[in-house]
Amino acid sequence: MSPGAAAALLEPAVLNAFAERCDLIAAPVLDDFTTARAEATLADIELLVTSWGCPPLDARALDAAPLLRAVVHMAGSIRGHVTEACWERGIEVSSAAAANALPVAEYTLAMILLAGKAVLERAADYRRARRPDDWLRTPPNVGNYRKTVGVLSASLVGRRVIELLRPHDFTVLLHDPYVDREEAAALGASAVGIRELFERSDIVTVHTPLLPATRGLVSRDLLTGMRPNSTLINTARGAVLDQDALTELLADRRLRAVLDVTDPEALPPGNPLWKCDNALITPHLAGSQGNEWLRLADLALAEVERWIAGDGFAHPVRRETLEFIA
């Protein structure tokens, strides 16, 4: 992992916990597998704990690690470092994506509830007016009772969002081409086509991974079909949606948006999205940060324990699922 990731994740208590479970090599963190020091370290490794900034585990790196049998990734996506060579050599892989999904889902739930109450714009109006609000004249479209929330993709995050929505009085729609009506109903949602999702929802929340097939998936056509004054939330990747079209619709005050991700990150200072006061733009903060890193460490420690005991990973990454995950 990168030195920055190591400083954030590997607190002394976490390192001590790993050392209690296995023989922990007391070497500086590896962020380059091509150096002589890295190759000497990898020679004795059976299990590798990785995180953000891990270089690719390609054939050269694996040649230097003949004893390597498993990788525990203390973060979400493994796309950047687990290569085909890992699967060819039968290396087991685990990811903390499930732990990282929870704060993203919590952020999404918070933004859904705030959007339903029109909190951001009403707070701005209150700051400008600086006088009591006539709450009995609140428009009937403000509030969270019987609103319709559309969830795009039953990813780990999308599923957690649906779970967190259950105690609330929402109608939940789901579009995912790999989830049928029965599975959607079991999750607590109604399966619909993607166009219907955008046309019927008061709030659409995007959780699809960025893949070649999903780049630009949220098109101008779908955005234009959203209800007036509805809200789009994106915590996935900026390139999943047509950002230029969204910017135009925001400028015309057709929609509202909550964007934790943009394309690129961060937006250039002169990007017109910054001028849209009906868009809340946050700096990709929905995922694990601060004390939430401890949840990633706890999951990684539990996976190491299971692997040592021969019980297999609770959160394995399968080669055949790489086409569908972030």
Q: Could you give the residue numbers annotated as active site?
A: 237, 265, 284
What is the phi-psi region of residue 91: left when phi exceeds 0, alpha when psi lies from -120 to 50, beta otherwise?
beta
Rounded CA-CA distance 58/269 in Å is 38
Quickly tell me which residue has 């230097």 as its tokens: 64
- Count CA atoms within 13 Å of residue 307 on its CB side: 25
CA distance 286 to 110: 11
Please tell me the distance from the alpha carbon of residue 104 to that of residue 226, in angstroms, as a whole number: 23
Which among 48, 87, 93, 79 has a CA at the least distance from the CA of 312? 93
Cβ contact 162:216 at 8 Å: no
| DSSP code of residue 42 | H
**Dist. CA 166–CA 179, nearest whole Å:** 19
| Inter-residue contact 262 to 238 (CB < 8 Å) | yes
Residue recorded with tokens 């962020």 = 31
